Structure 1
Amino acid sequence: MQLFRTLTSSLSWFLVGAMLIGSAVCGEVPAFVKESLYSPNAAPVAEVVPTLAADVVLIDGGLKQGIRLGMVCRVTRGPLSIGELIIIESRSDRSAGLILELVEDSTIQAGDIARIKTLQNS
């Protein structure tokens, strides 16, 4: 009888351990684990508003994404560089910029990505 209790106890601990290991292996990793700790410093272009003096590019991102007044942003569409903007207004979740440079025969469109232009030291 003692042997039966010992085997039953060992078997139950084995099953509990197997369930714990199985749940740890099958569990999904939360999305925030894969994300960067730092702001992406990029946001999509929401709209381009033509004015008499210059076109204003509205961006769906602002201070929360690290976009600040006076920063220069590179605008890309996929792997292609479209041009550059200078930020003239930045709020918590929206910003606006003026076009500094534009690749020949290109236009900035909604959905393009504006990313802060940074310098790299070698």
Structure 2
Amino acid sequence: MQTNAQRTSKLLSLFLLGAVLLAGVARADVPGFVKESLYSPNAAPVSEVIPSLAADVVILDGGLEQGIRLGMVCRVSRGFQEIGELIIIKSQSDRSAGLILELSEDSFIQAGDIARIKTLQNS
């Protein structure tokens, strides 16, 4: 025969085991998008630069889903160095294209650079 203390101990052990198992299941069922930001990053990496006679076209690995729209101006940077600016001439859900407006002296845009939408800041 079990005493009240033994029954209570056994029930407590089962409760804790259930809580641990439930916590593990709850974590496994959380979809990945829950941890993502609700806001678009307003940035996209440069995929490639296509040279042409008139102007180089910069292809970005991001578009409408990242908040990049036709006519927007983007700053292009490599690390902490700002390289130049481009204007978006085409934007689809996950790709966009831009023309180079301005380049820093002795700079060039290459794959892996990051294009961010140029925004105005009020002071």
Q: For the superposition of Structure 1 and Structure 2, which TM-score range results when normalised by the shorter chain? A: 0.7 to 0.9
Residue of structure 1 equivalent to 2:121: 120
Unaligned runs of 5+ in 1: none
> Any idea what SS the aligned residue of 1:84 has?
strand
Residue of structure 2 equivalent to 1:11: 9
Unaligned runs of 5+ in 2: none
Quote the Cα distance in structure 2 between the aligned partners of 1:121 and 1:15: 59
TM-score (norm: length of structure 1): 0.83
RMSD: 2.3
Q: Identity of paired residues, percent?
A: 68
Quote the Cα distance in structure 1 between the aligned partners of 2:44 and 2:9: 55
Quote the Cα distance in structure 2 between the aligned partners of 1:75 and 1:5: 73
> Any idea what SS the aligned residue of 2:107 has?
coil
1:54-81 alpha-carbon deviations (Å, 9 max, x no partner): 0000011111111000001111111111
TM-score (norm: length of structure 2): 0.82
